[in-house]
Amino acid sequence: MCSRSDAPPKLNHGDLNEDSGSSRGLRAFWIGQGISYFGDQLLPFALTWWAVTYTDSAVAVSFVSLIMAVTSAITAPCAGILVDILNHKKLMITTVIVYILIVLISGSAMLLDRVSLVALYAIAFAVASLDQPYLLLQQVLLRELVSPDGLSRANGRLETIRAVVGILSPAFAGYIAAQAIGLLFWVNAITFGVLLLSLLCIEVANVETRGTRAHHSLKEALVFLGHTPHLLVLTFLTAVVSLTLAPLGFLVPLAVKQDFALGSAAAGLSSSAFAVGVLTMSGLLSVFGRSRRVGSLLGISIILLGLGNVLFGFSPVFASALFGSFLAGAGTIATTIFARTLYQRDVPITLLGRVTALRQSLTFVIRPIGILLGGGLAESFGPKASIAGMGSVMTMLGIIALCSRTLRRA
């Protein structure tokens, strides 16, 4: 747990917690994050679709995703150190300004048809590099704006916004890309311009960093995790969950085609059921979420995630598999929200950037392993059996988390 000195700083204008709906700063945060997240979803689509349209090469398309994934894994620890060293609001404003400039220049070059494949890869690298401090600062600023008791509800609200945006943005991106791919960059820049304006309305305390810049190393974050048993267990659990979740993106469509003998419409319906589960659970947690006994709630969430996949894997008919997808979506987002709440609540604000960055880097490294593992299992046992097996592993992990004394006290 946080000591008194590590608690979220007091703000000069009074407590700004998640229940103070009239707070200008918090309202600005929700508006800015929601609109900018909408824009943030457009750029990966634009980069991928440009590669598809102008190269018609699977290698070129996959290389865009690979560059963004590898860049995120490498830059996350560096971004975490910067977040813990510098003033959060000023760093966020600087990051957003640089991001907008890069996006505007890239969009203009695309509209003028002056972008080569190498330039596209450079844009993907730049965008992924700036995305990490943006995502880390989003979590740190939420920690500063919201009281510890309101973190679960606040994270639920944030994920509800993301779920709604995740449904709307692909269709919008596809429509705009049909006119001109470069326009997606300009729309993205406009949404981050709104984020920039919202940041000017947010007031946070200037958290003084302790020690010298050399003192702010990743080793300090690792030592902290090593001396905080429930967060160490949490990091292990979320890593294994990420490992088992990674291949589901291609195992579910494979199961729909090979085991249920259905087409693309059914695969899309399964993805929609998952998204509805995410939206439903995040909406419920935005109202009823709690920041006490979070460790037990995390265990229940992982069990729900596992049971959803077990149900999908053992379903004799597609209708029950859809319900499994719904449960898996609900369990996935609940696991994400409660895990993030524990980190935000129990990691000192001066370490939160680095600890979160380490966790994200671990996820980036583990995901390719999970994808390879899922592919091997699908070849050996079939996609449905693989999904059921991974769901069983998640269920057992959830039971272990629920029974763990270390997490139950969290």
Q: Are 390 and 294 in contact (CB under 8 A)?
A: no
Dihedral over Cα of 45, 48, 51, 52: its sign? negative
Spatial CB neighbours of 101, under 8 Å, sequence gap ≥ 6:
none
DSSP 316: S
Q: How far apart are CA 267 and CA 248, in angstroms?
A: 12
Give the per-residue pLDDT at 19: 42
Q: How far apart are CA 371 and CA 382, in angstroms?
A: 15
Place of tokens 């880097």: 361
Spatial CB neighbours of 236, under 8 Å, sequence gap ≥ 6:
none
Q: Are 103 and 188 in contact (CB under 8 A)?
A: yes
Tokens representing 47 are 């980069």
Reported as a single tens digit per residue, the pLDDT across 201-241 is 877 655 544 444 445 678 888 889 888 988 988 988 888 89
Give the Cβ contact number of residue 403 at 10 Å: 11
Q: How far apart are CA 284 and CA 77, in angstroms?
A: 33
Q: Are 118 and 179 in contact (CB under 8 A)?
A: no
Burial zone of 112 (CB within 10 Å; 0-12 exposed, 13-18 middle, 19+ buried): exposed
Q: How far apart are CA 250 and CA 62, in angstroms?
A: 15
Tokens representing 174 are 């596809």
Residues of the chain with pLDDT under 50: 1-22, 208-214
pTM over 0.85: no
DSSP 146: S
Q: Where in the chain is the domain with CATH 1.20.1250.20?
A: 9-200, 218-408
Report how far apart, in Å, the C-alpha atoms of 46 and of each of 40, 77, 106, 175 are.
11, 27, 11, 11
Architecture of domain 218-408: Up-down Bundle (1.20)
Give the per-residue pLDDT at 216: 61
Instruction: Spell out the CATH class of 9-200.
Output: mainly alpha
Give the per-residue pLDDT at 7: 44
Q: Are 79 and 357 in contact (CB under 8 A)?
A: yes
Tokens representing 130 are 């700036």
Report how far apart, in Å, the C-alpha atoms of 322 and of each of 189, 282, 326 are.
37, 19, 6
Report how far apart, in Å, the C-alpha atoms of 377 and of each of 50, 255, 369, 383, 389 are.
33, 13, 12, 8, 9
Alpha-helical regions (H) of 227-351: 229-245, 248-258, 264-288, 294-314, 318-346
Q: How far apart are CA 57 and CA 76, in angstroms?
A: 29
Q: Are 381 and 389 in contact (CB under 8 A)?
A: yes
Exposure class string for 144-168: b at 16+ Cβ within 10 A, else e: bbbbbebbbbbbbbbbbbbbbbbee
Q: How far apart are CA 14 and CA 32, in angstroms?
A: 22
